[in-house]
Structure 1
Amino acid sequence: MTAHPLHILKTVYGYDAFRGRQAEIVDHVMAGNNAFVLMPTGGGKSLCYQIPAMARPGMGLIVSPLIALMADQVTALRQAGVRAAALNSDLQGDERHSLWRDISSGALDLLYVAPETLLRPDILDLLHRTPLSLIAIDEAHCLSQWGHDFRPSYRQLDALVTEFPDTPRMALTATADAPTRAEILSHLRIAESDAFIAGFDRPNIRYAIAEKDNPRAQLKRFLGAHEGESGIVYCLSKRKTEETAAWLCDQGYVALPYHAGMDKAERQTNQTRFQREEAIIMVATIAFGMGIDKPDVRFVAHLDLPGSIEAYYQETGRAGRDGLPSDTLMLYGYEDIALRSRFIETSDAPEPRKRIERQKLDALLGLTETAGCRRQALLSYFGDHSEPCGNCDTCAEPPDMFDGTIAALKALSCIYKTGERFGQAYIVDVLLGGADERIAQFGHDRISTYGIGKEHDSRTWRAILRQLIALRLVNVDLDGHGGLSISEAGRQFLREKPVLMLRVPAKPQATRGKSGRKPASTTLPEADQALFHALREKRTELARAQNLPPYVIFHDKTLIELAAARPGSRSQMAKIPGVGEAKLDRYGEVFLAVIAEYET
């Protein structure tokens, strides 16, 4: 396919104009230049390489990390009339031979391939004999050892620089801080002048973070605003994943587990159901997500602290890829901080890597404890900026602050006087003058800090200690016992006694998930909502008949536009965003018939 980029945008994808920096990037690559593209999930990053790949002579070579992700993208492209295919280890016999013939004959616009497959000598030899329009490396943060998802196979992709020196190279990601960006540019020899940073903001996502109080009750309240919608719940362990999925099923939800310890076929079955059915909750470890291109994930919840701000940003970014309103919730507690610290200190990573990981954890804890706008804190980490967003929990309900200087001094003194070896629960009991037999056994009912903290309840003291840990005034031991000790910064605080403002812990009901958000279809007048649901039912019917995810036919956003505009002809339907020529030919009459039934 050789055509003008705007013509491809309209005829293939059904859009009249590029968004943001898309046009600038496409023109840059069309001229034969390399490009690094950082664009938020849902910002249209794929079009930045797909359109120039089709518009330039030759075949576009797309490096992608997962077979599932490649399959999803190829399916969507074929539905839009694009000649796309994936080369991976799952292909057998005739399928593989047929694909090789298509590559050799120039019958493909786009070829997706995993890095491990791409770098095989026989594949490189074939590609050297195939005219290439460009090489695009998607999820490029996987290349950086400083990134949150480093993959050694990606590091070897710098061989492409010498293998194909005259072919434009693109590196694309939604998640990369400054060190990660610098490393990608260096390894792929892409100049800083060829970098396009389109920002990190996802304004359609509402961010909420809360202390763990009763995690299951908090999750259930959050899900109350998402009846009939699909979402992801992240857990840190395989066991918790299984148990949470079973509990959600007992609560009347359709929930499926996903983790690396499951049988591969069972994992694939669950992933396929999540992609192709409505109102499915996937309860998963971080092993799930990158291979999912599902645009209508309406919520993401973390029941445990993620590994870093990059991981949190990427995982929450799986919500609302279609641009419609979506919610996130992260629950965390003292144990999460200790566990994440333990992961870092007991890893085999060299000290420079551990130092980076500690800094990343500190930044994440800063995000959890901020009294300001979550979005501002999140974007600031990536060097981006925002006004207070009005669409996060701290903007909606600004937390109360109090002068925590005296409370901090009491807590630190109690930790010191009990020997700097007891955990959070024990320190709180001593501060409250508890009758625990261990307190009497150790003689801690006779120290000066016994019972001096009765002005606060146990929830408040837990929150105070958690904030002192986040501020690095208190350390948590990493041998599995969770004992608290005073850091050097904490000792300096005891000496200097500066004013310390702390957050008042939110009341448990504050995590009700009361975003005020209603299903996306309710943005339509009531008279159009019945048509929207009828269009959705028709889409599901068509998808099942072809064994496809419904969203590769049309996104919800397109169905909302159809329900609002009610086109009465092919030419009118062609004006709806997201309706390209191939989809109009394939589905136009069917959806026009549904719309006609609702005309009055």
Structure 2
Amino acid sequence: MTAAASTELEALHRVFGYDAFRGDQADIIRHVIDGGDALVLMPTGGGKSLCYQIPALVREGTGVVISPLIALMQDQVDALAALGVRAAFLNSTQGPEERARVECAYLAGELDLLYLAPERITVASTADLLDRGRIALFAIDEAHCVSQWGHDFRPDYLALSMLHERWPTVPRVALTATATEQTHLEIQKRLQLENARHFVASFDRPNIQYRIVPKDQPQKQLLELLRTEHAGDAGIVYCLSRASVEKTAEFLVEQGILALPYHAGLDARVRAANQARFLREDGMVMVATIAFGMGIDKPDVRFVAHLDLPKSVEGYYQETGRAGRDGMPSTAWLAYGLQDVMQQRRMIDQSEGDLAHRRRLSAHLDAMLALCETVQCRRMQLLAYFGEKSSPCGNCDTCLNPPESWDGTIPAQKLLSTVVRLQRERNQKFGAGHIIDILLGRQTSRVDQYGHDDLSTFGIGTELSETEWRGVVRQLLAQGLLAVNSDGFGTLVLTDASAGVLDNSRTVNLRREPERTTRATRKARSAVADLPDALQPVFESLRAWRAAAAKEQGVPAYVIFHDATLRELATRHPSTLDELGTVTGVGESKLAKYGEQLLEVLAAVRAA
């Protein structure tokens, strides 16, 4: 091993308590240390932060991190401080005295890492401040925010091309957990990273089980998931609207589950307090819009549930990726129904963007619908979206309980014929519910009012149930064989592709939901599940100590130690500081700060 190569390894072990790098980390870190630019695509939980933190420790000067997450900067800095890293931030939450203290520390060369929001670095006074100090590197976190094709577009990121223009000799590393080839190319172009080395890791998160279920009283479905599989676990529930967030959080609380709401309509102090509780307390469920989650570093989120259809596969992947950062088995669960498809189509039609923008939104939605309706392995479909080939995973719902594909051409023709007759014979448009009533031959007040029992398609669809017909409508919308009218009333109209179905030149294959089966018991659902019975009290004693230490310091429990470290402590039961120093996640600073306390806890358990 060369002296240069040992530098970053020494920092990895001394500061972070790890013995070896994972995947491409070593190559990325060496490239940046040597002064090269890098574009890093790595999944959530893959260790992206080390790719700039270690070069910032090894190179001379301060690593400047551009992050959109003002609300989380304090937690990020606290986590680094616990490791003995000299870190600080500059943002709008600070008063003049605190900002002046941080600026002085930077100018004196007393900071390893400095966090800034993108809008702050473009301010002339901030740029002038950076000029007066020594910059080790620029790290652009959540780099997909620069892409208008991506799902979290931030206009402030567009100005970050100035980093290369103003500081051409300072290495830049742009990092994101999700990017299609199109987003990838846009990041490269907008940040002027054409000459950067690209590192693309696998997007696979094998510990996450992907499941998509038909919507049927989604709140009750969610409650069953939490009670039967994730009792007492931390998790995130995503809803499309603020009202749905509030109602779902209230429902869970009424059912005895610790749940909090989070959306942009809440007072900023309430949002901050709820976020802090989620990060610091065990077993908390956050019900949120997509305004919540980016940069959340809580490793023990055991499930991410969606009660509404995400707008894109990229968004879905990013959101579900917040589960299981610690590598333990976790669940990504989505309830999806006909109204979701109609609502998303209507929102696209009513979008204020130009035609190109609406086409981008439609392409995103089409890919998301394809994931929902696939009869193949969900993980294969998800990874294929990011250009990655894989084989069936054996751990998603379509692998564990495969659905059938059936020839739905005749039902599709019956439904489309009903739409044709309403439009052409009566000059009328109706939503899915009324059309299904006609097909089922129901003599409703609306059918009577319009005389629709005279239609030739009245009552010709009794071979399917209402639920099955709703599935047909949903899948015809997903395949572009039916559309939601732009009148804002959710009525259905034909598309150009409908004609091929009606004239028998196109076959329609549909997905039939499998019969529900009892899921196999999760092998290791919680951090303690695969520990021998004799070691579980040791783990719980360590958790209790960690919770008390975290509360005393006002930081999340994972800032003290991750569950994985506590599990190793419980298993190996070290009795000296030297032995303790070989445990994964126990770096030099944490050994000095917590070593004696940990040995006391372990000795007490041993004596009991």
State, as a whole percentage, how many aligned pairs show the same letter: 51
CA-to-aligned-CA distance 1:342-397 (integer Å, 9 cap, x gap)? 22222221221211111111000000000111111111111112211111111111
| Aligned residue runs from structure 1 range 296-307, under 5 A | 296-307=300-311
| Aligned residue runs from structure 1 range 360-375, under 5 A | 360-375=364-379
Deviation at 1:223, TM superposition (A): 0.7
Asked if 1:426 corresponds to 2:431, the answer is no
Larger displacement relative to structure 2 (432-441 or 183-192): 183-192
**Mapped contact 1:39–1:174 kept (Cα < 8 A):** yes
C-alpha change, 1:515 and 1:485, in structure 2 (3 Å) is: farther
Q: In structure 2, what is the Cα distance between the partners aligned to 1:58 and 1:12? A: 18
Deviation at 1:30, TM superposition (A): 1.3
Q: What corresponds to 1:593 in structure 2?
A: 600
Q: In structure 1, what is the Cα distance between the partners aligned to 2:525 and 2:38? A: 39
Asked if 1:489 corresponds to 2:493, the answer is no
Q: In structure 2, what is the Cα distance between the partners aligned to 1:168 and 1:17? A: 24
Q: In structure 1, what is the Cα distance between the partners aligned to 2:154 and 2:218? A: 33
Q: In structure 2, what is the Cα distance between the partners aligned to 1:278 and 1:479? A: 47
Q: In structure 2, what is the Cα distance between the partners aligned to 1:540 and 1:437? A: 61
Deviation at 1:513, TM superposition (A): 9.7
**Mapped contact 2:500–2:506 kept (Cα < 8 A):** no
From 63, 68, 77, give the equivalent of 2:66: 63
Asked if 1:175 corresponds to 2:178, the answer is yes
**Mapped contact 1:222–1:512 kept (Cα < 8 A):** no
What RMSD, in angstroms, separates the aligned Cα atoms of the two structures?
A: 1.6
Aligned residues: 598
**Mapped contact 1:68–1:291 kept (Cα < 8 A):** no
Q: What corresponds to 2:466 in structure 1?
A: 458
Asked if 1:243 corresponds to 2:247, the answer is yes
Gaps spanning 5+ residues in structure 1: where? none
From 435, 442, 445, give the equivalent of 2:450: 442
Q: In structure 1, what is the Cα distance between the partners aligned to 2:210 and 2:147? A: 27
Q: In structure 2, what is the Cα distance between the partners aligned to 1:590 and 1:417? A: 78
| Aligned residue runs from structure 1 range 341-356, under 5 A | 341-356=345-360
CA-to-aligned-CA distance 1:525-553 (integer Å, 9 cap, x gap)? 11111211111111000000111110100
Q: What corresponds to 1:188 in structure 2?
A: 191
Asked if 1:209 corresponds to 2:217, the answer is no
Asked if 1:386 corresponds to 2:390, the answer is yes
Deviation at 1:192, TM superposition (A): 5.9
CA-to-aligned-CA distance 1:375-420 (integer Å, 9 cap, x gap)? 1111111111221111111111111222212111112112222326
Q: In structure 1, what is the Cα distance between the partners aligned to 2:604 and 2:507? A: 68
Q: What corresponds to 1:43 in structure 2?
A: 46
Q: What corresponds to 1:200 in structure 2?
A: 203
Q: What corresponds to 2:567 in structure 1?
A: 560
From 234, 254, 257, give the equivalent of 2:258: 254
Deviation at 1:13, TM superposition (A): 0.6
C-alpha change, 1:436 and 1:192, in structure 2 (3 Å) is: farther
C-alpha change, 1:188 and 1:146, in structure 2 (3 Å) is: same
> Which amino acid counterpart does residue 114 of structure 1 have in structure 2?
A
After TM superposition, the score normalised by the length of structure 1 is 0.97
Q: In structure 2, what is the Cα distance between the partners aligned to 1:514 and 1:455? A: 36
> Which amino acid counterpart does residue 281 of structure 1 have in structure 2?
V
CA-to-aligned-CA distance 1:493-534 (integer Å, 9 cap, x gap)? 212343332111345x55989756532311111111121111
CA-to-aligned-CA distance 1:425-448 (integer Å, 9 cap, x gap)? 111111111121211222221222
User: Secondary structure of 1:133's match?
Assistant: strand
From 12, 20, 38, give the equivalent of 2:23: 20
> Which amino acid counterpart does residue 145 of structure 1 have in structure 2?
Q
Larger displacement relative to structure 2 (259-268 or 493-502): 493-502
Q: What corresponds to 2:149 in structure 1?
A: 146
| Aligned residue runs from structure 1 range 250-399, under 5 A | 250-399=254-403
Larger displacement relative to structure 2 (513-522 or 463-472): 513-522
**Mapped contact 1:69–1:290 kept (Cα < 8 A):** no
C-alpha change, 1:297 and 1:532, in structure 2 (3 Å) is: same
Q: What corresponds to 1:417 in structure 2?
A: 421
> Which amino acid counterpart does residue 26 of structure 2 have in structure 1?
A
Q: In structure 1, what is the Cα distance between the partners aligned to 2:177 and 2:103? A: 32
Q: What corresponds to 1:120 in structure 2?
A: 123
User: Secondary structure of 1:128's match?
Assistant: helix
Post-superposition, which runs of at least 4 consecutive aligned residues in structure 1 deviate over 4 A? 509-517
Q: In structure 2, what is the Cα distance between the partners aligned to 1:529 and 1:538? A: 14
Q: What corresponds to 2:405 in structure 1?
A: 401
Q: In structure 2, what is the Cα distance between the partners aligned to 1:83 and 1:511? A: 50
Q: In structure 1, what is the Cα distance between the partners aligned to 2:100 and 2:259? A: 39
**Mapped contact 1:222–1:514 kept (Cα < 8 A):** no
Asked if 1:73 corresponds to 2:80, the answer is no
> Which amino acid counterpart does residue 477 of structure 2 have in structure 1?
I
From 81, 87, 90, give the equivalent of 1:87: 90
Asked if 1:521 corresponds to 2:524, the answer is no
> Which amino acid counterpart does residue 159 of structure 2 have in structure 1?
Q
C-alpha change, 1:439 and 1:115, in structure 2 (3 Å) is: same
User: Secondary structure of 1:521's match?
Assistant: coil
**Mapped contact 1:206–1:327 kept (Cα < 8 A):** yes
From 542, 566, 579, give the equivalent of 1:535: 542
> Which amino acid counterpart does residue 486 of structure 1 have in structure 2?
L
CA-to-aligned-CA distance 1:88-143 (integer Å, 9 cap, x gap)? 11111321111111011000000010011111111101101111111010000001
Larger displacement relative to structure 2 (264-273 or 411-420): 411-420
Q: In structure 2, what is the Cα distance between the partners aligned to 1:497 and 1:451? A: 25
Asked if 1:130 corresponds to 2:138, the answer is no
Q: In structure 2, what is the Cα distance between the partners aligned to 1:369 and 1:282? A: 28
CA-to-aligned-CA distance 1:226-248 (integer Å, 9 cap, x gap)? 11111011111111111110110
Deviation at 1:298, TM superposition (A): 0.8
> Which amino acid counterpart does residue 389 of structure 1 have in structure 2?
C
Q: In structure 2, what is the Cα distance between the partners aligned to 1:267 and 1:443? A: 53
Larger displacement relative to structure 2 (154-163 or 92-101): 92-101
Q: In structure 2, what is the Cα distance between the partners aligned to 1:336 and 1:436? A: 25
Q: In structure 2, what is the Cα distance between the partners aligned to 1:485 and 1:213? A: 25
After TM superposition, the score normalised by the length of structure 2 is 0.96
Q: In structure 2, what is the Cα distance between the partners aligned to 1:527 and 1:276? A: 28
User: Secondary structure of 1:45's match?
Assistant: coil
Q: What corresponds to 1:53 in structure 2?
A: 56
Q: In structure 2, what is the Cα distance between the partners aligned to 1:303 and 1:512? A: 20
User: Secondary structure of 2:497's match?
Assistant: helix
Deviation at 1:576, TM superposition (A): 1.3
CA-to-aligned-CA distance 1:172-218 (integer Å, 9 cap, x gap)? 00011111111111122223661111121111111111111110121
Q: In structure 1, what is the Cα distance between the partners aligned to 2:144 and 2:173? A: 13
User: Secondary structure of 2:23's match?
Assistant: coil
> Which amino acid counterpart does residue 576 of structure 1 have in structure 2?
V
**Mapped contact 1:423–1:482 kept (Cα < 8 A):** yes
> Which amino acid counterpart does residue 176 of structure 1 have in structure 2?
A
Q: In structure 2, what is the Cα distance between the partners aligned to 1:485 and 1:138? A: 43
Q: In structure 2, what is the Cα distance between the partners aligned to 1:383 and 1:69? A: 31
Q: In structure 2, what is the Cα distance between the partners aligned to 1:324 and 1:389? A: 16
Deviation at 1:580, TM superposition (A): 0.6
C-alpha change, 1:104 and 1:219, in structure 2 (3 Å) is: same
Q: What corresponds to 1:472 in structure 2?
A: 480
**Mapped contact 1:210–1:511 kept (Cα < 8 A):** no
